Amino acid sequence: MVVVVDKNLPQERVEKIIAELNRYGFDVHKSTGEKYIILGALGVQPGFDIRKIKMLEGVVDVFRITEPYKLASRRFKDEKTIIKVNDIEIGGDEIIIIAGPCAVENENQIMKLAEVVKNNGAKILRGGAFKPRTSPYSFQGLGEEGLKLLRQAGDSFGLSVITEIIELSHFELIEKYTDIFQVGSRNMYNYPLLKILGTSRKPVMLKRGMSATIDEWLMSAEYILSGGNPNVILCERGIRTFDTSLRNTFDISAIVSVKDKTHLPVCADPSHAIGYRDKIIPMARAAVAAGTDALMIEVHHDPDNALSDGPQALLPEQFSELMKQIKEIAKVIEKKF
């Protein structure tokens, strides 16, 4: 349930309300908004009489959340969550661009691409150091060496960095180097991994599973939020349907739909959704027009020889053109870019 508390209530009174909720067996998550303090009381107690809490001093209202996801719900927090990454805000008035190669291949490659994305207005550098590939014979990433190179490139060009975590044993290692954890579509249902990411204070970008409903996606986000990490970014990266003309079906409607259900920011990844570079720019434009808070784009200066997903990587000149087009769309929808 959600307990709405007067924001001007003295802290000791707020703590007494929290203590009372704890006494009744609820775990409490606190969120402070512009007008009220919101206490999310988590615990399965269908018969609990909410009047016991509603009568407490300073409590404005109490209501139950019917959705299975509680902390991700707009009923828990109606105001948009804005996630701060160094000097960047994701979920605010600015469209944030995340760009770079699918995988870090060597120092020359990642430094060259970091310069390209920086010069064209991106603020976050992407690059995989551990790559979950469909084939066991495909390039699996450079591991820690890739993390070091990604961090070096980001620091050299003033970019924050994001990289994928694929297993629990990599958590402490990746946390040393990255600014944002990325959870790939294959791991959206990896609940032990989501739980450990809930203990971190670094943001987590959670990609939608290939066959996941929006509610299932939000339930996975709930695992991270309930662990104490409020910094979750949802990423639409295409879903698997009966159609096989493209790599996946890019569900642009999900960008609009999920924002009705949650306060969390949303990112769109047309590169993975489409899989073909000649179709990525129009789909990226559509995602921006639909209201995505961030855009993740793969870029490579030599995609024909890329070790991972070359066909879906934009060439530097294509990326530059996309940035110009996004700037014009941003004006129309009154977003900063």
Q: What is the DSSP string of 307-329?
A: SS-GGGPBPHHHHHHHHHHHHHH
For the chain, the helix, strand and coil percentages under 3-state DSSP, each to the nearest 5: 40, 20, 40
Q: Provide the pLDDT for residue 140.
A: 72
Residue 133 has pLDDT above 70, yes or no: no
DSSP of 196-247, one letter per residue?
HHTT--S-EEEEPPTT--HHHHHHHHHHHHHTT---EEEEE--B--S--SSS
Instruction: Note the pLDDT tens digit of each residue in 188-197.
Output: 999 999 999 9
Who's near 15: CB < 8 A, 6+ residues apart? none
CATH superfamily of 2-63: Phospho-2-dehydro-3-deoxyheptonate aldolase; domain 1 (3.30.70.1140)
Q: Provide the pLDDT for residue 246.
A: 87
Q: Provide the pLDDT for residue 209.
A: 96
Instruction: Note the pLDDT tens digit of each residue in 171-189.
Output: 999 999 999 999 999 999 9
Ranges of each domain in the chain:
2-63, 83-332
Cα dihedral: 202, 65, 255, 177 (round 10): 10
Instruction: Identify residue 297 by its one-letter amino acid code.
Output: I
When pLDDT is averaged across residues 93-116 and rounded to a whole number, the result is: 97
Instruction: Note the pLDDT tens digit of each residue in 213-242.
Output: 999 999 999 999 999 999 999 999 999 999
Q: Does domain 83-332 have CATH number 3.30.70.1730?
A: no
Q: Provide the pLDDT for residue 124.
A: 98
Residue 286 has pLDDT above 70, yes or no: yes
Place 134 in a pLDDT band, splitting at 50, 70 and 90.
low
Least confident of 24-38, 53-67, 74-88, 134-148: 134-148
Residue 138 has pLDDT above 90, yes or no: no
Q: Provide the pLDDT for residue 137.
A: 60
Whether the predicted model's global pTM rises above the 0.85 cut: yes
HSE, side-chain direction, 13 A CA sphere, residue 91: 20
HSE, side-chain direction, 13 A CA sphere, residue 337: 25
Q: Provide the pLDDT for residue 255.
A: 97
Residue 326 has pLDDT above 90, yes or no: yes
